[in-house]
């Protein structure tokens, strides 16, 4: 496989989050390890991250790692983040994901026009109002409540109708969060806000990461120049 600096940076970050020594192998395939401190998934879950033609998987116990290793070692890589395929071979109790993982190289960045984008502090009351305009699942999915950067917002009158920012993750990642008020979608506002957040991350020498399930969110990422490199899935096994 040809050297890909963007893929290498993304993989290094997720290996750091695994919490134990492991690697995405250059020859492809899957590595499974026991980690009680893994950030690939919630505590006591199995975390699966596939990037490029390789994947890493963490499990909370040796017995679960052995089960995962035995049942998944012959499966094609693209099926490792397919919850339906995994349910056929593993005793799965609960699933989070899958979500696509996309990353932005500075040379690929296609910034939106910065018109009407303003900056407010994370935790600003207007962000809470924006988050309250959507369902709890959508609010959780967008990640806007967890940003550590300033928030980059688009106003309609005095009201925030779109906002973006990022949370600093291990491995120099800037995990982008973005949300547009439902009645304001389709106008490019998410792209404008997210563009400002991505530019801030790049200026701080961070690697912008876009994790998404809905296709509209993925389209925004592609329009900005993000490149999808893989996917993430978390599963909780029955005990």
Per-residue tens of pLDDT for the chain, all 239 residues: 678 999 999 999 999 999 999 999 988 899 999 999 999 999 999 999 999 999 999 999 999 999 999 999 889 998 999 999 999 999 999 999 999 999 999 999 999 976 688 888 877 888 889 999 999 988 888 888 899 999 999 988 888 899 999 999 999 999 999 999 998 888 889 999 999 999 999 999 999 999 988 788 899 999 999 999 999 999 999 98
Edge to edge, what strands does the sheet with 54-59 contain? 29-34, 54-59, 46-51, 227-237, 92-103, 207-212, 173-180, 159-169, 151-156, 117-120
Q: Let me know whether 145 and 80 are in one domain.
A: no
Q: Let me know whether 170 and 74 are in one domain.
A: no
Q: Let me know whether 22 and 71 are in one domain.
A: yes
Q: What is the CATH number of the domain that holds 133?
A: 3.40.630.30
Q: Let me know whether 169 and 114 are in one domain.
A: yes
Q: Let me know whether 94 and 191 are in one domain.
A: no
Q: Let me know whether 197 and 126 are in one domain.
A: yes
Q: Let me know whether 97 and 134 are in one domain.
A: no
Q: Let me know whether 115 and 210 are in one domain.
A: yes
Q: Let me know whether 95 and 111 are in one domain.
A: no
What domain range is 80 assigned to?
A: 5-102+231-237
Number of domains in the chain: 2
**Cα distance between residue 188 and residue 180, in whole Å:** 9
Say whether 189 sits in a helix, a strand or coil. Answer: helix
Tokens 């998934």 found at = 41
Q: Let me know whether 97 and 156 are in one domain.
A: no
Q: Let me know whether 140 and 76 are in one domain.
A: no
Q: Let me know whether 77 and 41 are in one domain.
A: yes
The model scores a pTM over 0.85: yes
């Amino acid at each position: 496989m040809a050297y890909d600096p963007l893929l290498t940076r993304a993989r290094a970050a997720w290996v750091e989050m695994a919490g134990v020594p492991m690697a995405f192998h250059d020859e492809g395939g899957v590595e499974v390890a026991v980690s009680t401190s893994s950030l690939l998934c919630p505590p006591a879950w199995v975390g699966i991250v596939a990037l490029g033609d390789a994947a890493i998987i963490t499990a909370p116990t040796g017995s679960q790692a052995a089960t995962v290793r035995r049942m998944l070692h012959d499966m094609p890589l693209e099926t490792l983040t397919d919850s339906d395929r995994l349910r056929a071979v593993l005793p799965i109790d609960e699933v989070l994901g899958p979500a696509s993982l996309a990353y932005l190289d500075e040379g690929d960045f296609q910034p939106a026009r910065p018109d009407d984008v303003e900056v407010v502090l994370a935790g600003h009351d207007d962000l809470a109002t924006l988050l309250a305009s959507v369902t709890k699942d959508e609010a959780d999915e967008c990640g806007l409540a967890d940003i550590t950067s300033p928030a980059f917002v688009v106003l309609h009158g005095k009201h925030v109708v779109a906002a973006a920012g990022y949370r600093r993750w291990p491995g120099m990642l800037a995990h982008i969060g973005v949300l547009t008020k439902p009645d304001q979608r389709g106008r490019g506002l998410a792209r404008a806000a997210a563009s400002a957040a991505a530019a801030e991350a790049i200026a701080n020498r961070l690697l912008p990461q876009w994790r998404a399930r809905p296709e509209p969110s993925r389209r925004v990422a592609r329009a900005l120049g993000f490149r999808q490199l893989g996917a993430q899935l978390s599963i909780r096994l029955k005990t």
